[in-house]
Structures are given as structure tokens and as C-alpha cells.
Chain A
Amino acid sequence: KQEVTQIPAALSVPEGENLVLNCSFTDSAIYNLQWFRQDPGKGLTSLLLIQSSQREQTSGRLNASLDKSSGRSTLYIAASQPGDSATYLCAVNTGFQKLVFGTGTRLLVSP
């Protein structure tokens, strides 16, 4: 059974810092991996999708990497801002859009 773990569970940083969120999964047989952002009381917003054949994806200040063989992905946020404060979830696609979600990292960026 696929299990997805995110470390750390919570992170608090001052504005301007670069930071890395980690995601690990137990079964490397995935089709893609997505990073989502969830704001309190809101739904999830897809940030980046990395296909299994790719190593990384970039969008603005966000960069996500994937090492499928080792079961790891990282989300790098450059020059963090208070508006980045949210919960970040990774999810692996085990086939036909069946996503298994991680436990999430709650990020707080202080001004």
C-alpha cells in the first residue's frame, strides 16, 4: 500500500528565507507527483505536477524535484513571503488519477 509522508509537519520562517519541504513515498511505481497548496477553510490548489519521467518542474519562485527511485520529492520555495503561509501537500498518482496524499506541511512565514 502506498504511503506518503511529509517532513516537517510544521515550519516557521522569517520572510525572505529560502526553504525546502520534503515528501517521501513508499512505492516508486507512480505516474506523477503533484504539490498542492491549501489555505485555511479553502480547497486545494495545484502548484506543480511532475511526471514520472521528469526530474523537476518550476513555476515562479517554486521548484519541485522528483527522485522516483528513492521515493522522494522536494518543494523549494525561494525568497519566502507572508502570502506563502499555507499547508502544502504532496500527492502521488498511483494510476488513473488515484491520488494518495501526504500528511502536509504547515508553513508560516513571518513578516
Chain B
Amino acid sequence: DAGVIQSPRHEVTEMGQEVTLRCKPISGHDYLFWYRQTMMRGLELLIYFNNNVPIDDSGMPEDRFSAKMPNASFSTLKIQPSEPRDSAVYFCASSPRPVDRPTNEKLFFGSGTQLSVL
């Protein structure tokens, strides 16, 4: 398996523009996560899905952020309108269905999207 695939690797945009980040999880994984990493705040969970359904979006900073998972192999994170403070590395991760709850499965991360909003 190719692992978790994210695109684009780098995105530079101007304030006010719409940004869409994409993720393809590992085939067969039931959980998908979006994280954001900044120097000031470290890694923060934004939202996660189970079987394509959003379970917890309490980490989504504002209404400008939205995430979708239309099928088991694709998810998007959209920022509209973007602002300079959104500049960060955005990671997507996936994990398998747990044998028992709560899960004790490892997370597998993509390489991230470096977003710069000017």
C-alpha cells in the first residue's frame, strides 16, 4: 500500500482565497483524521471521521473550515476564506477498525500539506 496520500504538498495562496486540501487514506482503514501543526500550538486534531461520518469536529477552529468524506477513499479539508493565521502544515492520518473500543491501533500519517496564506 502507498500509505496515506495527501495533495498538494505545498500550497501558497492569498488571503481571502478558497483552499482545498485532499487526502486518500489507506485502503481498509475506517478512521480518518485531519491534524494541523504549527510552531506555536504543535499538533492539533481538527476533525475525525469513522466510516465516512464526521464524529468529532470540536477542533475545527472556525466556520471557515469544513471537511467532507464522500467515500471511504477520499476526504477534503476546505478553508474559505483563508487567512494568514491559517498558515500551517495540515496532516491527514488514518487507522484501522479497532478490535475493541477504545481503539489501540496505530495511526498512519500522510506527508502533509504545507499551506502558506499571504
Contacts and interface: CB of A to CB of B under 8 A. Distances in A.
Q: Do chains A and B stick together as partners?
A: yes
Interface of A: 31-32, 34, 36, 41-46, 49, 51, 89, 91, 93, 95-104
B43 to A, nearest CB: 4
A96 B102 contact: yes
B109 A96 contact: no
Interface string B74-87: 00000000000000
A44 B42 CA distance: 13
B42 A97 contact: no
B109 A98 contact: no
B67 to A, nearest CB: 15
A44 B105 CA distance: 15
Interface string B98-118: 100111111111111010000
Interface residues of B, number: 27
A46 B31 CA distance: 16
* Dominant secondary structure of chain A at its interface with chain B: strand
Contact of B107 (A34, A51, A102, A104): A34
25 contacts: A32-B104, A34-B107, A36-B109, A42-B111, A42-B112, A43-B109, A43-B111, A44-B93, A44-B109, A46-B107, A49-B104, A49-B106, A93-B104, A95-B102, A96-B101, A97-B95, A97-B103, A97-B105, A98-B56, A99-B107, A101-B42, A101-B44, A102-B42, A103-B42, A104-B42
